[in-house]
Amino acid sequence: MEFKDYYKALGVSRDASADEIKKAFRKAARKYHPDVSPGADAVAKFKEVNEAYEVLKDPERRAAYDQLGQEPPQGQGRYQPPPNWDSGFSFSEGGPRDDEAFSDFFETLFRRGAGPTGGAYASQGADSHGRIEITIEDAYRGAERTLSLRSPVMAPNGTVTMQDRKIAVRVPKGITQGQHIRLAGQGAPGAGAPGDLFLEVAFAPHPVYRPDGKDLYLDLPITPWEAALGGQVVMPTPGGKVDLRIPKNARSGQKMRLKGKGLPGAPAGDIYATLKIVNPKVTTDEAREFFEKMAKKMPFDPRAHLGGT
């Protein structure tokens, strides 16, 4: 069977968030919908993006698909999934019932080939979904967290009761907002193996940084003389303070990029610092006299471009 690169079909990276995947699907679906696109390949492209979204929107299917890796090099014949690639997963029968709707790749992996029965395990527990809030520093360095959950537990006699339990969670370094952490066997109980627990990652509001994927944004205040004369200033990063060179005649709103200083990865994210010129308060006669002297020595009209001034 032919390998299907679902990330490529939607035009997203392999670490794309759930929201990014949804937006990409909506954009592609509008572009290739047969009622909109007159192209001869519109129907095929529309089916391709639908199939990609059917896999990537589901945390368990996406996690299993990611275990397959990427498309093998050309010249190795038809693609064959590695043995036991779907160990620990069970897939629902969601999606269109029309056998022509999805490719052989999808059908083999997620229906006929999903486990020994060719479908969902009737005895396996259902997957559970939750949310974990972490700090940007947790994502930068990695962390260990303990969650307190109230979840169903199956007793020896087969009855299910709600119990409080604690679960250790390892936050991998470089994880981004919207990604999922999979905890195998920590989902709902079943007659056989329990399901898995999928935790969607959210970042707690940060006093300095604004995350966007692996990139981090912040506002960096500078003085008027630092903006005019340039020089080195100290600015924070999750990995520690660094020196940043301010160019001469810098302007407010100008962006400075620190390559590779964002969240780690391959490649690592960047930090973008937006310069904000902050004027000092004039609280003494000496300071007022200094500004009056500067006004005489450095005539400057920031509104000259508006005309009539």
Could you list the pLDDT tens digit for every one of the 309 residues in the chain?
678 899 999 999 988 888 899 899 888 888 887 767 666 677 888 888 888 988 888 877 787 787 776 665 554 445 666 655 555 555 554 444 444 467 877 777 775 444 433 444 445 667 778 889 999 999 999 999 998 877 666 666 555 566 788 889 999 999 999 999 998 888 776 656 778 888 999 999 999 999 999 999 999 999 999 999 999 999 999 999 999 999 999 999 999 999 999 999 989 999 999 999 999 999 999 999 999 998 898 888 888 888 765
Q: How far is CA 31 from the centre of its chain?
A: 24
CA distance 133 to 152: 22
Q: Work out the angle at residue 265's Cα, subtended by the Cα atoms of residues 80 and 19, and round it to the nearest 5 degrees.
A: 75
Nearest to 44 by CA among 35, 53, 33: 33
Q: What is the pLDDT of residue 108?
A: 72
Q: What is the pTM of this model?
A: 0.56
Q: What is the pLDDT of residue 307?
A: 77
Q: What is the pLDDT of residue 83?
A: 59
Per the rule left: phi > 0, alpha: psi between -120 and 50, beta: everything else, 108 is alpha
Q: What is the pLDDT of residue 71?
A: 60
With both helix axes pointing from N to C terminus, report the angle between 59-67 and 42-56 in degrees, rounded to the nearest 10. Answer: 100
Q: What is the pLDDT of residue 230?
A: 94
CA distance 212 to 217: 8
Burial class (CB in 10 A: 0-12, 13-18, 19+), 153: middle
Other CB atoms closer than 10 Å to residue 224's CB: what's the count?
13
211 within 8 A of 198, measured Cβ to Cβ: no
Q: Which residues partner with 132 through β-bridges?
A: 201
Q: What is the pLDDT of residue 89?
A: 56
Residue with token string 């014949």 = 77
Q: What is the pLDDT of residue 59?
A: 75
188 within 8 A of 194, measured Cβ to Cβ: yes
Q: What is the pLDDT of residue 220?
A: 96
Nearest to 216 by CA among 268, 179, 263, 267: 263
CA distance 87 to 153: 22
176 within 8 A of 211, measured Cβ to Cβ: yes
With both helix axes pointing from N to C terminus, report the angle between 18-32 and 42-56 in degrees, rounded to the nearest 10. Answer: 160
CA distance 145 to 135: 11
CA distance 68 to 72: 10
